[in-house]
Amino acid sequence: MLVRTLDASSISGYTRCMNGSAADLLKNLNEPQRQAVSHRDGPLLVLAGPGSGKTRVITRRAAHLVRTGVPTPNILAITFTNKAADEMRRRIDELGVARGMWVYTFHALGVRLLREFGSLARVRPGFTIYDVDDQIRLVKEAMDHAQVPEASLKAEQIQHRISRAKNQLQTPEAFARSANFSEGRMVAGVYAEYERRLERNNAVDFDDLLMRIAVMLRDYPDLAESLGRRFRYLLIDEYQDTNHAQYLIARYLSQHHRNICVTGDPDQSIYGWRGADLNNILEFERDYPDAKVVRLEENYRSTQRVLHVADTLISANARRKHKKLFTANAPGAPVRLWNFYEGRDEANRIAETISRLRAGGRGYGDFAIMYRVNALSRGLEEAMRNRGIPYRIARGVEFYNRKEIKDTLAYLHVLVNPDDDIALLRIINTPTRGIGKTTIDRLKLLAAEQRTTLMNVLANVSAFPEMRVSAPKILPFVALLGRMREALEKPVSECVSAVLSMSGLEDDLRKEHESGGEDRLANVQELVSAAGVYEAEALEPGIAEFLSRISLTSDQDAIDAGASSVLMLSLHAAKGLEFPIVFVVGIEQGLLPHDRALAGDGDIEEERRLLFVGVTRAQEELYLTHARQRLIRGALTPRSPSQFLKNLPHDGLEAQDFDDGPRASADYDEEHSQAPRRGWQPRSGFADPTHSKNMRLFAARRRRPGDEFGENELNIPAPQVQPPAASRFADWKIGTLVQHKEYGVGQVQWIQPSAEQTRAGIKFPRVGEKTFILEKAPIQLLKR
């Protein structure tokens, strides 16, 4: 009964696509690849070494299933990032067969199923998804309530423990039972209160998106059975990174047909610290004794020497599946191992090398510099700037919490889900409206006493004598929310605009900008246009869905490997990418392996895998570097070479020692401190939309001529001059939504007017970015 909605309605009505034959899909594949693509029924484990054409195999396999008669709605493909999901959908679509197929991340699948079966998982419609930031706030609230002082255990740690417990499907009760020590019991208490609050707020956290689905499938076998029947074929990518909850979901969904195909590489498992369980892939054959195992060992990416270094390095690990990497590629240049006196020398030598190779014909986009911790990017940045090398940084957390975006979204969350106390607390005094800590504490106390949400207290604030003093501040706020609620009827982008202007956020940000601050107004305006793109592209656009899409979008989705600038990124962020020339810096004890891993609460093998991931990103040239001392947190600290250097082979490697002591370094200093810093501006001055995760959501990556230089403008101020206002395209700006006769709705990415014609790059949801001469193209401004 529960399952009716999913099963019957959707399967019929999809016509199977017949262009191209199944045999075509087996062309241009090596033997193991062909086996993986054509394998039909029963469990399949594809162990895919780096650069072995894994994505190709997965997409071809999905297409092959369809072309040999499996209706698309019977296939479920699961990835780890939205980017990967989009990419897979796109590539399957290119093969002519994506329509109707479920291609999701585990978490998006969770949202989808919770929307449908939420009542079985203690979730009401309109639920909010809490990200890590929200989770920590909620943990703090719970700690307050449970009278746990933050001094005893930090909220982050408790959040981490709760997250671990949820991955293991452990309820607060189970957690309490297993807790032997007072600390554990304390965490259990906070966990229980945290859960009560989630429920009261009608919210779920990231882990719930997995846990609740796994519990639901466990507790409602008829649901598991009918979903399992529907999904005749299950494909899961990056299986080495699944945690226990994801493992269970995969098991429940595949138990009927047992057609589970997982792909991955134990050697590239780098998220153990986040609960990923390497055993899931290592013991796949124990779980499915009849599994067929295919090894993709031929590498199409790297030179023989790079691969040899990678292979030798990783053989030092014990927890792995045997694989022998090989390639038909050329031997290539020796892998360089460079040693420096100081971190700055390392950075300068790399910058110099990039300049030299670039003069020899390489593009800046051919280079990537990787490090274990983001903090290492600083010195590199400086060296790049000094030499005028354009670069981009794929930074992690920095993008996560754009305050202005989170504030705006918090308003929307409150409108959609008034029970969301965390969002309400965020906006109750933002912008400031005289509702301070004392008032808020009283409101919280009342909510706790009445066992209700803050919103209910606010709505009845006049009923509480103790709130008499602050009521004049609170009532207008309640009224404001009431007026805003009317805006929910409007299209999503207008609703966002309305919230911005009505809340006063917009005015605040404008003032801040005018008084010389950051242009954060531009960021929230980008949110409006992202909403516009979403509206144009979604089947049934709605605020609630817009918000959950945002919650599930991450920084990772933004890395754009195509631009012509040097990319600097963490080793974690590098997974899945490739570059002709790669530098891995700071290969030192305490950094790689990181201190935390050395201290024992980490995993040395995982650290080695990180280096392996870095090494295997290189197509042609690889440089591994370390220094004898380096500036860390402002202090010059002595460093020693990483233990992993002992795992490298002697052949194919060329070690160079640039450590000629302090004097050489001083020379460098002198030389470079004189270098003109052409036009560099402080990073804080930028309102680059790509800095906010929300902007990168709906593919609204801004690019315009001259932007290859990323955030450091190296050229003379780019010719971003607007044309004479007479142009009939004067209204067209970056972010403007337009309608193309053939491609539909798109968004202006860049625009370049000149005397005779105006060229512009327009990005479309389906076909990506296209360049047009506006005077000639069948294109016009989108009218609402």
The binding site for DNA (CB under 7 A) comprises 80-83, 105, 107-108, 132, 150, 206, 209, 238, 241, 270-271, 273-274, 276, 372-375, 396-397, 401, 429, 432-439, 470, 552-557, 569-570, 572-573, 594, 596-597, 601-602, 631, 633-635
237 is a catalytic site residue: yes
Beta bridge partners of 205: 130
Task: Supply the minimum distance, in Å, between the C-beta of residue 547 and DNA.
Answer: 13
Containing H/E element for 294? strand 292-296
Q: At what angle do helices 54-67 and 31-38 cross, to 10 degrees?
A: 40
Task: Supply the minimum distance, in Å, between the C-beta of residue 611 and DNA.
Answer: 12
Measure the CA–CA gap between 509 and 520, rounded to whole angstroms: 6
- Single-letter amino acid, residue 223: L
What value does the CA radius of gyration of the chain take, rounded to a whole number of Å? 27
146: number of Cβ within 10 Å: 16
315 conformational bin, left if phi > 0, alpha if psi -120 to 50, beta if neither = alpha
The nearer residue to DNA, 200 or 572, going by C-beta atoms, is 572
Q: Count the alpha carbons within 13 Å of 453 in the hemisphere toward its beta carbon.
A: 20
Please measure the distance between the N-terminal and C-terminal CA atoms of the chain and give it in whole angstroms.
41
Those residues with Cβ within 8 angstroms of residue 177's Cβ, 6 or more apart along the chain or in another chain: none
Those residues with Cβ within 8 angstroms of residue 415's Cβ, 6 or more apart along the chain or in another chain: 481, 484, 485, 487, 488, 499, 543
| Residues 347, 348, 354: CA angle, nearest 5 degrees | 90
- Cis amide bond preceding 593, omega within 30: yes
Catalytic entry in 67, 305, 575, 617 = 617
Short-list 493, 489, 483, 504, CA closest to 404: 504
Report the DSSP pairing between strands 75-79 and 102-105: parallel
Measure the CA–CA gap between 246 and 252, rounded to whole angstroms: 10
Task: Supply the minimum distance, in Å, between the C-beta of residue 80 and DNA.
Answer: 3
Catalytic entry in 141, 205, 208, 238 = 238
The nearer residue to DNA, 598 or 767, going by C-beta atoms, is 598
Task: Supply the minimum distance, in Å, between the C-beta of residue 730 and DNA.
Answer: 38
168 is a catalytic site residue: no
The nearer residue to DNA, 245 or 762, going by C-beta atoms, is 245
The nearer residue to DNA, 17 or 375, going by C-beta atoms, is 375
Catalytic entry in 134, 193, 237, 707 = 237
657 is a catalytic site residue: no
Place of tokens 């989630």: 198
Burial of 489 (0-12, 13-18, 19+ CB in 10 A): exposed
The nearer residue to DNA, 466 or 742, going by C-beta atoms, is 466
Task: Supply the minimum distance, in Å, between the C-beta of residue 461 and DNA.
Answer: 13
- Cis amide bond preceding 431, omega within 30: yes
Catalytic entry in 24, 34, 55, 196 = 55
Task: Supply the minimum distance, in Å, between the C-beta of residue 603 and DNA.
Answer: 9
Catalytic entry in 33, 72, 263, 268 = 268
Task: Answer yes or no: are the C-beta atoms of 761 and 704 closer than 8 Å.
Answer: yes
SS3 342: strand
Catalytic entry in 33, 35, 54, 327 = 54
The nearer residue to DNA, 631 or 767, going by C-beta atoms, is 631
Measure the CA–CA gap between 191 and 670, rounded to whole angstroms: 56
SS3 633: coil
The nearer residue to DNA, 195 or 555, going by C-beta atoms, is 555
The nearer residue to DNA, 186 or 471, going by C-beta atoms, is 471
Q: What is the largest CA-CA distance in the chain?
A: 81
617 is a catalytic site residue: yes
Task: Supply the minimum distance, in Å, between the C-beta of residue 569 and DNA.
Answer: 7
Task: Supply the minimum distance, in Å, between the C-beta of residue 209 and DNA.
Answer: 7
Task: Supply the minimum distance, in Å, between the C-beta of residue 244 and DNA.
Answer: 12
The nearer residue to DNA, 333 or 471, going by C-beta atoms, is 471
Show which residues are catalytic. 54-55, 237-238, 268, 617
